[in-house]
Every structure is written in structure tokens, then in C-alpha cells.
Amino acid sequence: MQKRTLGQHLEVSAVGLGCMSMTSAYGPAADKGEMIKLMRAAHDKGVTFFDTAEAYGPFANEELVGEALQPIREQVVIATKFGFDIDPETGKRGPGTNSRPEHIKAAADACLKRLQTDHIDLFYQHRVDPNVPIEDVAGAVKELIAEGKVKHFGLSEAGVQTIRRAHAVQPITAVQSEYSLFWRDPEKELLPTLGELGIGFVPFSPLGAGFLTGQIDENTKFDPSDFRNHVPRFSPEARKANMVLVHAVKAAAERKGVTPAQFALAWLLAQKPWIVPIPGTTKLGRLEENLGAVNAELSKSDVAQINETASKLPLEGERLPEAALKMTGL
């Protein structure tokens, strides 16, 4: 497995593993024992970068990741996130964000216990808190780093001015946001800013929440608990309209002799050397397919061709429900 460096010093596998879907978001939680096997299999295949959050479950995902990775803890990098208002006793999540410094520190201690570790490799603010200055957030994480509880600071779904202000207080190692051939907005301001500041980028939903794999069309039925039921871009009408992109990716993948998923991930890897996508899966076959993307090197002409094709396609639907979009700092 190839390695990449986020920020100045955090070396990780070129493709990580997003663990959210193992316990929530895309339907019922998967079998715990199978997910533990899957994470350990990922490590056997060279994955060293695992992504979770206190909000996934809440808490259940961190507990799962902690148990799975405990025997190989020193060989992996664990990223988790804070910033939502979650009752530590019940796990009930409130409607808003909470990045008050005292809450961040309490959340860190709770994350450490669930992850069965003495340090968090990469600690992201999950969503920007409009009620807490980002300088205070960065300052709180800086103190956690000084205590040895956290190694690196990250932001998720943050705008460029927020990133600059936070970075001035505590250098940011990585920013996480949605990015794929299905959502290219980060190319406008975010990627140039990260390149200027020397910050790594971790795209979530690098396969467009599954859409770019070619396994979803307007007739696909999602489990009632699947978040895509509430995403405008995944309405049957939008899916039907957006199949033009899937067809373009399939054609490009066939020319390279790879799968659509591998092509979509290889496209991300070709954008910048400091981009590390974190596709999620609950299936070993999909994991192996995704990791194959590191060997599907795209030429400049391959990238230019799909960029030109995709840029002409009018995609329909917002990438998140309205309430979720309001919680981003973008």
C-alpha cells in the first residue's frame, strides 16, 4: 500500500477506511464480529488510516473501532471527531453543535475510553460551531496536544476563513469535506487554500455515497433508516437525471480496465499528493476493490478527459438536506 502525508508529519495509507456505515447512516448496523474482521483485514491489506466519530451511533462506532484496532493500535492512525451536543450518559444527540472548550476536553476523554487508547491521532471538529470562536476551539485542542491526548488537529466541513483563523492558533493537519466527481465544489477555494497552508485533505463520500459505483439507479430502494432517503441528490428524479455522470465514469473506467469505483478513487488520488480518500464499506469484496484504486494510476489526459466530460453535465439536487447544509461552515 502506498503512503501519503497529511499536513507536515502524519503518514497514512493512500486510501483510508471510513467506518461510519458499520454502525449507522446507510441502514441497520452491520454484524459486530464481521466488522471487526473487516477492519483487521483492511490493516492486513495495508490500510493504516481509520475514520470514526463520537456522533456515529452516537458512541457505538468509536467503541467498535476501539475494539477492532486495540491489538494493532500502535500500527494504525485513528481519526475521530467532536463538536455535537451529545448527552454523555444517554448518547442522545441534541439539535445543535457544542465546541465549548470544556466540552471538547470532556469529549476527548470519553473518546479515549471508547477507543481503548491513550491518544487520538487526529481530532477533528465535526462541524463549525457558530457560537464558539474558532480560535477558542483551536486553543482547546492545542492544550490537548500539549497534554499528549491528541496528536493532530483537524476540521470538517469548514470554510477557508475559518481554516485560516484556526491554523494560526494551532496548525491544522487535515481538513475533511465531501469531494468526488459527484461534488467538485472544493476545487474553487478549499483545495487552493489547503495547498497554500500545507494542510492535507480527506474527502468523505469519495464515491458519491455509492452513486459513482454504478450500483444505484432511480429504481434502487434504500433501507428506511438510510440517510440517502432524505438527500435531494438521491431522489429518484435526481438519480435518473444524474445517471449521465455514472455512464461517463463507467466509460472512462472501461478504457482503463478498472471498475467505476476504482476510477473514481484514482481520480481523487490524481488531484493532489496530499489527498487521502476514506471510502466506507461493510463488505470485504468492496474493500479489496476500493484498495485496488492505488494501482489504477491515471494520466493527465485521463484526468483532463473526465474533467471535461463531467463539467458539461448538469447534475441535479443538493448534496445534503437543507438542515445539514446549514450546519456546514462552507
Element (H, E) at 317: none
Can you state the percent helix, strand and coil of the chain, rounding each to 5? 45, 20, 35
* Residue-wise burial string across 261-286, b where 16 or more C-beta atoms lie within 10 A, e elsewhere: bbbbbbbbbbbeebbbbbbbbbeeeb
Looking at residue 30, its amino acid is A
pLDDT (0 to 100) of residue 245 = 98
> Terminal CA-to-CA distance of the chain, rounded, Å?
33
Mean pLDDT per 10-residue interval, the chain, length 330 residues: 97 98 95 98 98 97 98 98 94 93 98 98 98 98 98 98 98 98 97 98 98 97 96 98 98 98 98 98 98 96 96 95 88
10 φ/ψ angles, rounded to the nearest 5 degrees: -90, 105
Q: What does the longest C-alpha to C-alpha distance in the chain come to?
A: 54
Positions marked catalytic: 56
pLDDT (0 to 100) of residue 95 = 86
Residues 180 and 290: their CA atoms lie apart, in Å, by 14
Contact indicator for 197, 172 with CB cutoff of 8 Å? yes
Residues 73 and 118: their CA atoms lie apart, in Å, by 10
pLDDT (0 to 100) of residue 329 = 84
**Do strands 172-178 and 150-156 pair parallel, antiparallel, or not at all (unpaired)?**
parallel
Domains of the chain: 3-208+265-296 (3.20.20.100)
Contact indicator for 95, 62 with CB cutoff of 8 Å? no
